[in-house]
Amino acid sequence: MNQKFRIVIGLLIIAVVLAGCGNEATENNQQLSLEAHIVSVANMELPVKKIIGFGEATHGNKQFTQLKQELFQRLVEEQAYRVFAIEGDFGGGQKVNEYIHGGAGTAQEAAKEIGFAIYKTEEMAELLAWMRAYNERLGAEDKIHFYGFDMQRYDNNKEGLFSYLREVDEALASRYESELKDLNDESVYDQSKAVIQAGLASVSELIDVIKARKDIYVARSSEKEYELSLAFAEAIKQNATLQGTNANYLNTRDQYMAEKVEWIQAYEQKHYGRENLFITGHNGHIEKTSATAGMKACMGEHLSNTFGDEYYAIGSEFYESIFLAVDASTEERKEFQVLNKSGDRLVNRFAATTMEVGSLDFAKASEEEGFMAYLNQAQPVSAIGATFSKQYEKVEKMYTLKLVPAKAFNSMIFVRTATPSTMLE
């Protein structure tokens, strides 16, 4: 009996050793595969697609804004892309568009118009300054256009809408400016539902009037201006719907953002002959599998369903990051720190290389079956939003999405060390 027991134990030990060797060999092969396919961002292949989306792993690192510029600049110079859209206020985006077309003000002032504090950075101002300088060299038909596809602000949308209505129907503009005065940025998150619903009813009624008088308004302006005015009005209505009804905020907002991206693509194609645009936002909006808890369909999944292979999603990840976010407990903007060193994650394999920033194209990696099987396994990917908490730093589930990299994205960019955005004064 003792002899049999010793034999069984011996066989078990051998099995464990062999399994360990097998795992080590597999991990080594996967590391070699990653190193064979990872390239610098300057050398990554950017296909010509109707929509290329870039997701950022945090809203508070300068590197992800700099990557926005690097990717878009390549698309502009190499593939004649001319449309940039961001997870920012639609009306504010039009203010930025005016600036990059030679409008008054500074790049810093334009960055502050996008609507959210996460964009009030030197890095964003540098991106806008580059767009303006680039546009100065081009004819009107070839200039870059800037859009926001979010709808969580009122003021700039109201300004754009009523600026148009005063030109085509002054009486209507005067009436509804008064009726919508309570829908404003100052109290956007601090209003009773009754006040918001009254504004929602008014803007819904106004949209119906604008649609009914389309022929009159187009004759007094242009179809392009008319359609833009309706987009301003829809943004106001959508925000009031989010703030003042029982609509699921998470899912409804992503649906609205997808619809606005679709509108931008159609508007640009109709009026400027442009099919392609670059969009950027949080990883959780850009990815295609709706991995966020409670999310039925994220913006990226909507766009993937609409555009199919013409939607190309690029995700991002960091190994270590010191980033800016609003402290959930104090509501103050401060620095937080995260180190992604646990588990069998892609970013840890990247960290074992000598690269500071690298890109992995999943289609090219599919040439190696074993590595592709790994890329088709769910793993945590960083997705840090505008708010954070000190308690989250050590709890991976609090700042990551569990997703399948090769299904959520077409490629990913990895940053070894991400540093805080530089806030404007």
Task: Give 267's pLDDT tier (boundaries 50, 70, 90).
Answer: very high
* pLDDT over 90 (residue 47): yes
Task: Give 29's pLDDT tier (boundaries 50, 70, 90).
Answer: confident
Q: Are 84 and 114 in contact (CB under 8 A)?
A: no
Q: How many CA atoms lie within 13 A of 7 on its CB side?
A: 4
* pLDDT over 60 (residue 73): yes
In order of their start, the domains of the chain are 1-148+261-424 (3.40.1660.10), 151-244 (1.20.1440.30)
* pLDDT over 80 (residue 12): no
Q: Which of 178, 202, 210, 196 has the alpha carbon at shortest distance from 241?
A: 196
pLDDT (average), residues 352-361 = 97
Look at residue 393 in the predicted model and tell me its pLDDT. Answer: 94
Q: Are 289 and 271 in contact (CB under 8 A)?
A: no
Look at residue 17 in the predicted model and tell me its pLDDT. Answer: 46
Q: How far apart are the first and last CA of the chain?
A: 80
CA distance 93 to 100: 11
- Read off the tokens for 165: 């209505």
* pLDDT over 80 (residue 353): yes
pLDDT digits (tens, 9 = 90+) for 87-119: 999 999 999 999 999 999 999 999 999 999 999
Look at residue 416 in the predicted model and tell me its pLDDT. Answer: 98
Strand-pairing partners, residue 413, are 316, 359
Q: Which of 78, 115, 84, 86 has the alpha carbon at shortest distance from 100?
A: 84
pLDDT digits (tens, 9 = 90+) for 217-239: 999 999 999 999 999 999 999 99
* pLDDT over 90 (residue 5): no
pLDDT (average), residues 377-391 = 97
Element (H, E) at 326: strand 311-327
Look at residue 18 in the predicted model and tell me its pLDDT. Answer: 44
pTM: 0.93
CA distance 345 to 379: 6
- Read off the tokens for 255: 């649906």
- Read off the tokens for 419: 């540093």
- Which residues contact residue 284 at a Cβ distance below 8 angstroms, ignoring those fewer than 6 apart? 55, 291, 292, 295, 298, 383, 385, 401
CA distance 93 to 309: 27
Look at residue 21 in the predicted model and tell me its pLDDT. Answer: 45
Task: Give 15's pLDDT tier (boundaries 50, 70, 90).
Answer: very low
- Read off the tokens for 21: 């060797």
CA distance 269 to 105: 29
* pLDDT over 80 (residue 3): no
Write down the mean pLDDT value for the chain.
95
* pLDDT over 50 (residue 146): yes
Look at residue 25 in the predicted model and tell me its pLDDT. Answer: 58
Look at residue 170 in the predicted model and tell me its pLDDT. Answer: 98
